[in-house]
A and B are shown apart, each in its own frame.
Chain A
Amino acid sequence: MKTLRKTWPFHVMLLPSMIFLLIFSYVPMAGIVMAFQDYKPWLGFTGSEWVGLANFRYLFERQDSIQVIWNTLVIAVLKLIFNLFVPFIFAILLNEIRRVKLQRTIQTLVYLPHFLSWVILGGILIDLLATDGFANRILSTFGVQPIFFLGDNDWFRFTVIASDVWKEFGYNTIIFLATLAGINPSLYEAAEMDGATRLKQTLYVTIPSMIPMVAVVGTLALGNVLNAGFDQIFNLYNPLVYAKGDIIDTFVYRTAILNGEMGFGTAIGLFKSVISMVLILLSYRLAYKWANYRIF
């Protein structure tokens, strides 16, 4: 009882959030049963036919199943990595710009692409990356042969990942800038006193102070490990790159969403969630074991 008395304010602080989660997350989770049904809207959860694992089987039984899942993983994981490290490095570099006005201007400009939708960007990229487009004209001045960025299986994934990183790095930088702002200045003062160069300060003060946040952001991003970015792929892919560009979400869109197959859609969602959960758990354990750090 003694601990309860001391921690009751903590429970009170968490109560509002718990109520919201209960209503808007946990109650609707009942719908996961749809994953095991041939769900028909007019029959509901109680009336629809139970089909066991048939919905899951369909995901794995297609001739291109392995390819689609693999594409998804490769694109999503590479995006995860680059969307973590590019903003991280960018934040550190930006922090070195000492003219505040310039720093803020750069920060604002790189944050802008986040607000363009892929429908619009898709159109722009198709022109920009055409074989006689702007990008290739620049490359040709360096003697590079024209590259079919969006129509070549060897280049498509690169294009997708690069354009995604380009779109999001400015926005993702914000977390790290906030972390940088939170580093205790006295740490730098102490390092300066010891005669550490800026590089050393970065290596021994800045980076270690930011590592926990990198771990946190990285772990939470694992929740998306099977989301390779539907809007982007859907607007950029084409028959020439199905082999490397078709992902779970585009496949689900074509087979389930367009046809109103809600059971199948739920099954895929559940599959993705389970994989994500396992990875999050793993990464949580690892962070705790190696760094004695609880990510959440």
Chain B
Amino acid sequence: MGIKKTATIVMSTLLVAASLAGCGGGKESAPAAVNTENVYKEKYDPPVTITTVWGVDPTLQFKNGESAENNVATKWAKDKFGIDVKSLWSVTDTNGAFATKVRLAMSSGQEMPDVVTIGDTDSQLAQDLIDSGMYSEVGPLFDKYASDTWKKAMSEDANVWNPYIRDGKKMGIPVLDYAYNHDYVLWIRQDWLTKLNMKAPTTMDELEKVMEAFKNNNPDGLAPDKVIPLSIGFKSSMNTWMGDPSWIFGAYGTIPQQWNLGSDGTLQYGSIQPGMKEGLVKIKEWFDKGYIPKEAALWDENKTSEPAVAGTAGILPGPYWMSGWPLQDTVKNVPSAVWKPITIPVGPNGKAMRHGTTTTNGVTLINKNMKHPEAFFTYQNYMFDQLANPSANSEFDKGLFKGYDYDVDSSGKLLTGENIPGGYVNSVRYLLVRDGARIPNAQMDALIKLADGGKAETRLERDIQNNYGPLTPEAAKVLMSQKDSSYPNMFTGPTTQSMKTKMDYLNKIESQTFNEIIYGKSPIDSFDTFVQTWKTSGGDEVTKEVNDWYKSVHK
């Protein structure tokens, strides 16, 4: 190592040490001047720049040597709108890398992006960014620039803004998702039911009879200890998606691990309601009878699908699209297997509950220093008008980008999936806002139309038909027939102060108590002790803060 080089390194070290103290301050900035003239354009000439950062989905692929920074979507935006989407950086979002990197970028005083979209997994990051004061109020911008289609989509569910309201100001634009996307149905082995000459269960009692028959009188001749009549798992939580057990408690009037609206108009924590105890008693009974997996406490969502795919499980709770994945593979292992979606059974009082879906999956923030916030709306308006749910024969009728998510062969035939030369890539994820644009009710409307025998005519309808699995329309119909049983988590605000310090412990004792009751390591009455502990160990404070928030948004 030369002396000069050594000196350089030593010098730079000292510089670093000196600058360490100074950085991370975050430049104080004046809010973007609100222009009175109409700067909004369909196409910008000269082009304008929107900077952004990407948390790239690990499964997202690129073709033709493209990347998150530079691809068919960025070229398209430049040609179409004169908008130069410039990437400051991108990171493959695994192990929370995106959130970490945003925080590190902030800490080291790097340039923050004009527009950033943050998924619900990183909701705390979104709240932090709002708190940082670097991002501007979006309410007026949205009112001024958003297209009618977008505004209409946003108004389908009045609650979508709630998480991002600060002192009555809208600080982030919610990213809309399809309604009921995480609601679920029960998937049942119809071939077993047929052979047993039973009908689909509609009550808890009928469900028990079916499970009993699946196990001890298995139509495929499986030995009782090889059958898992109901595949559910508790490792992550009692309120999840595939293999979800929360509807069992729903039959007794509560959904765990979320805030439900009580009869008195306040929000109540589902896991401490009396219905929980009845549900636990039921699950314990099923566990003892071998209706649910012996290792349920160790099983996460994916694990619960394994016996279903293997053909040894009778019922698997999960989303309406599961005939497209993972259940399509069951017939490869058991050729006679037939899955059917059914409604979730009602409890003793004739009521069923399932956890519902919030119609957002993230938020888009707009930097205070962004010179042309209207450009973002130009881009996004087009997405809502032309991509979200366009009428037949629109620009994106066949798909988003030719040669990426669809192609057309020489005879004019539409190619999808593996038939596309060079393979399918999910190019909708290249767009500035994740998934381009979704109108909450559009998906279900399209599905119901298909289920009722309608033909796929629009882009959305074709997409569902091609990519969502054969039974999905039917399952959607089942799902919607129980629309009134859907109960989303009513608390969507920022994490409250006592949640930060107390909730982890409360969740821990909750899972511990529930699992121990099911496994017979604690008596059922330990539930009452748990409720007491929950309340005194901070649960009451959390409840109060949650309700304060609820009142503040529901004035």
Does A254 have its Cβ within 8 Å of any Cβ on chain B?
A: yes
Does B527 have its Cβ within 8 Å of any Cβ on chain A?
A: no
Task: Given contacts A30-B17, A42-B106, A255-B504, list 7 more A-B pairs with CB under 8 A.
Answer: A27-B20, A42-B131, A45-B24, A63-B537, A131-B294, A239-B235, A242-B511
Closest B residue to A123 by CB, please name it.
B303
A43, A58, A130, A262: the one within 8 Å of B25 (CB)? A43
Does A197 have its Cβ within 8 Å of any Cβ on chain B?
A: no
A150 touches B298 (CB 8 A): yes
Q: In the assembled complex, which residues on chain A have CB atoms less than 8 Å from the CB atom of B1?
A: 16
How far does the alpha carbon of A251 sit from the alpha carbon of B507 in the complex, in Å? 12
B20 touches A258 (CB 8 A): no
A243 touches B295 (CB 8 A): no
A41 touches B511 (CB 8 A): no
Per-residue interface assignment for chain B, residues 524 to 540, with 1 indicating a CB less than 8 Å from any chain A CB and 0 otherwise: 00000000000001000
- B interface with A by C-beta (< 8 Å): 1, 6, 9-10, 12-13, 16-17, 20-26, 96, 99, 103-104, 106-107, 109, 124-125, 128, 131-134, 225, 234-235, 294-295, 297-299, 303, 495, 500-501, 504-505, 508, 511-512, 514-516, 519, 521, 537
A239-B21 CB under 8 A given contacts A19-B9, A251-B504? no
A19, A27, A240, A243: the one within 8 Å of B519 (CB)? A240
Q: In the assembled complex, which residues on chain A have CB atoms less than 8 Å from the CB atom of B128?
A: 40-42, 260
Closest A residue to B122 by CB, please name it.
A260
A261 to chain B, nearest CB (A): 8
Per-residue interface assignment for chain A, residues 108 to 152, with 1 indicating a CB less than 8 Å from any chain B CB and 0 otherwise: 000000000000000100100011100000000000000000110
A63-B505 CB under 8 A given contacts A45-B20, A239-B234? yes
B515 touches A239 (CB 8 A): yes
How far does the alpha carbon of A151 sit from the alpha carbon of B298 in the complex, in Å? 7
A-B contact pairs, 26 of them (CB 8 A): A19-B9, A27-B17, A40-B128, A41-B103, A41-B106, A41-B107, A42-B132, A43-B24, A44-B26, A44-B109, A46-B24, A58-B501, A123-B303, A126-B298, A130-B295, A131-B294, A131-B295, A238-B298, A239-B511, A240-B512, A242-B508, A246-B508, A251-B504, A255-B504, A259-B500, A260-B128
Q: In the assembled complex, which residues on chain B have CB atoms less than 8 Å from the CB atom of A30?
A: 17, 20-21
B106 to chain A, nearest CB (A): 4
Closest A residue to B507 by CB, please name it.
A254
B9 touches A44 (CB 8 A): no
Q: In the assembled complex, which residues on chain B have CB atoms less than 8 Å from the CB atom of A262?
A: 103
Does A22 have its Cβ within 8 Å of any Cβ on chain B?
A: yes
B83 to chain A, nearest CB (A): 27
Closest B residue to A58 by CB, please name it.
B501
A46 touches B295 (CB 8 A): no
B24 touches A47 (CB 8 A): yes
Closest B residue to A255 by CB, please name it.
B504
Closest A residue to B519 by CB, please name it.
A240
Q: Which of A259-286 contact B (CB under 8 A)?
A: 259-262
Does A99 have its Cβ within 8 Å of any Cβ on chain B?
A: no
Q: In the assembled complex, which residues on chain B have CB atoms less than 8 Å from the CB atom of A257?
A: 96
Closest 4 interchain pairs by CB?
A: A44-B24, A239-B511, A42-B132, A41-B106
Does A62 have its Cβ within 8 Å of any Cβ on chain B?
A: yes
Does A181 have its Cβ within 8 Å of any Cβ on chain B?
A: no
B10 touches A19 (CB 8 A): yes
B553 to chain A, nearest CB (A): 22
Does A49 have its Cβ within 8 Å of any Cβ on chain B?
A: no
- A interface with B by C-beta (< 8 Å): 16, 19, 22-23, 27, 30-31, 40-47, 58, 62-64, 123, 126, 130-132, 150-151, 238-240, 242-243, 246, 251, 254-255, 257-262
A99 to chain B, nearest CB (A): 42
Closest B residue to A150 by CB, please name it.
B298
Q: In the assembled complex, which residues on chain B have CB atoms less than 8 Å from the CB atom of A151?
A: 295, 297-298, 519
A17 to chain B, nearest CB (A): 12
Q: In the assembled complex, which residues on chain B have CB atoms less than 8 Å from the CB atom of A259?
A: 124, 495, 500
Q: Is the interface of B mostly helix, strand, loop or mixed?
A: helix
Q: In the assembled complex, which residues on chain A have CB atoms less than 8 Å from the CB atom of B516?
A: 239-240
B298 touches A42 (CB 8 A): no
How far does the alpha carbon of A88 sit from the alpha carbon of B99 in the complex, in Å? 42
Closest A residue to B25 by CB, please name it.
A44
B297 to chain A, nearest CB (A): 5
Q: In the assembled complex, which residues on chain B have CB atoms less than 8 Å from the CB atom of A246?
A: 508
A260 touches B103 (CB 8 A): yes
Closest B residue to A20 by CB, please name it.
B9
Closest B residue to A251 by CB, please name it.
B504
Q: In the assembled complex, which residues on chain B have CB atoms less than 8 Å from the CB atom of A58?
A: 501
How far does the alpha carbon of A63 sit from the alpha carbon of B134 in the complex, in Å? 38
B508 touches A64 (CB 8 A): yes
Chain A CB within 10 A, most for which of B24, B106, B125, B235:
B24
A239 touches B505 (CB 8 A): no
Q: In the assembled complex, which residues on chain A have CB atoms less than 8 Å from the CB atom of B96?
A: 257-258
Q: In the assembled complex, which residues on chain A have CB atoms less than 8 Å from the CB atom of B20?
A: 27, 30-31, 45
Q: In the assembled complex, which residues on chain A have CB atoms less than 8 Å from the CB atom of B6?
A: 19
How far does the alpha carbon of A246 sit from the alpha carbon of B511 in the complex, in Å? 13
A47-B25 CB under 8 A given contacts A132-B225, A238-B235? yes
A27-B13 CB under 8 A given contacts A260-B103, A262-B103? yes
Q: In the assembled complex, which residues on chain A have CB atoms less than 8 Å from the CB atom of B303?
A: 123, 126
How far does the alpha carbon of A261 sit from the alpha carbon of B125 in the complex, in Å? 10
How far does the alpha carbon of A23 sit from the alpha carbon of B20 in the complex, in Å? 12
How far does the alpha carbon of A27 sit from the alpha carbon of B303 in the complex, in Å? 45
A260 touches B505 (CB 8 A): no
Q: In the assembled complex, which residues on chain B have CB atoms less than 8 Å from the CB atom of A19?
A: 6, 9-10, 13
A44 touches B23 (CB 8 A): yes
A13 to chain B, nearest CB (A): 13
B504 touches A254 (CB 8 A): yes
A262 to chain B, nearest CB (A): 7
How far does the alpha carbon of A238 sit from the alpha carbon of B516 in the complex, in Å? 11
A16, A64, A131, A243: the one within 8 Å of B505 (CB)? A64
Closest B residue to A261 by CB, please name it.
B500
Q: In the assembled complex, which residues on chain B have CB atoms less than 8 Å from the CB atom of A150?
A: 295, 298
How far does the alpha carbon of A258 sit from the alpha carbon of B508 in the complex, in Å? 15
B312 to chain A, nearest CB (A): 12
A58 to chain B, nearest CB (A): 7
Closest A residue to B238 by CB, please name it.
A239
A243 to chain B, nearest CB (A): 7
B27 to chain A, nearest CB (A): 10
How far does the alpha carbon of A151 sit from the alpha carbon of B131 in the complex, in Å? 42
How far does the alpha carbon of A64 sit from the alpha carbon of B125 in the complex, in Å? 27
